[in-house]
Amino acid sequence: MIDYLAEESKTSPFLERRSIPSGGNMLTPITRNIWGFEHDHFMPGGLHFRGRTTVLRLPSGGLLLHSPNPVCDPLAAELEALGPVEVLVAPNSQHHVHFGPATERWPDARRWGAPTLVEARADLHFHHTLGRDTPAWGTVFTPHTIAGIPWLDETVFFHAETGSLVVTDLFFHIQRPANWQSRLFFWLYGLSGRPAQSPIVRMMAKDKPAAGRSAHTLLQLPVTRLVPAHGPVIEEDAASVLRRVLTRQARWAPAALTSSD
């Protein structure tokens, strides 16, 4: 959803899109073998929020970058001190604006993208398609494709070693909007002050039973940590938070929900 606004701002003389590059020493540990770094986004209409790139150490010792943000030289040095960047992931149809520069910085990294993004952004030269190809690292950072919502076309990832579920736009966790425009926007969409799913995601569902089954699959995972692309990491009672966030979506597949109770 957010990168859709970014794309719109590129073509309109009335909308400005600005960004503040990530500085050095911004890489933050999240848990064992997982780090993150954030980036300030300035969107049309004064909307301002932060986005996270999640960094995972693979069994090879290399790194996977989930939803790459802009990376400056000092931050790149921090990353490469942890290991070579081997995999770049564009996890849904919306998060691709900063993917190109990441491929230029790490041209040998394998590129994974959402199916609609692979088709729409041929210029990014993806090697693999999420939900269709099986990653060698999938047993460590397991992909779960959210079916039935092709507009979003998101794959989320579960890191079993730490119980961490990494999501992009499936839900947001906006605690303190940066300005009045952002407060108004996130309030109107019910996304302010708590983990929540955008009504746009539900509105764009084309196959609600399939989307409900996908939600049900996530609710069966032994989640102890939620790592959203937008907002703070959630570690307290993460499984209950996930259940609350996905309640409406899960209700689209009542049979699956009942069978788990």
Query: What does the pLDDT look like over 159-169, one tens digit per residue?
Result: 999 999 999 98
The contacts found for 101-105 with CB under 8 angstroms, 24 or more apart, are 101/68, 101/70, 101/71, 102/65, 102/68, 102/71, 105/71, 105/76
**Contact (CB, 8 A) for 70 and 19:** yes
Does pLDDT of 10 surpass 60?
A: no
149: amino acid identity, one letter: I
- For the chain, the maximum distance between any two Cα atoms, rounded to a whole number of angstroms, is 53
Query: Which of 2, 29, 216, 23 lies closest to 97, judged by CA?
Result: 2
Give pTM, 2 decimals: 0.85
Query: Which of 69, 261, 67, 92 lies closest to 170, judged by CA?
Result: 92
Q: What is the mean pLDDT of the chain?
A: 85
Burial of 144 (0-12, 13-18, 19+ CB in 10 A): middle
pLDDT level of residue 177 (50, 70, 90 thresholds): low
The pLDDT value recorded for residue 188 is 65
How many residues would you count in the chain? 261
The contacts found for 31-37 with CB under 8 angstroms, 24 or more apart, are 31/162, 31/164, 31/225, 32/161, 32/162, 33/57, 33/159, 33/161, 33/162, 34/159, 34/162, 34/164, 34/227, 35/82, 36/227, 36/233, 37/69, 37/75
Domains of the chain with CATH codes = 2-260 (3.60.15.10)
Does pLDDT of 184 surpass 80?
A: no
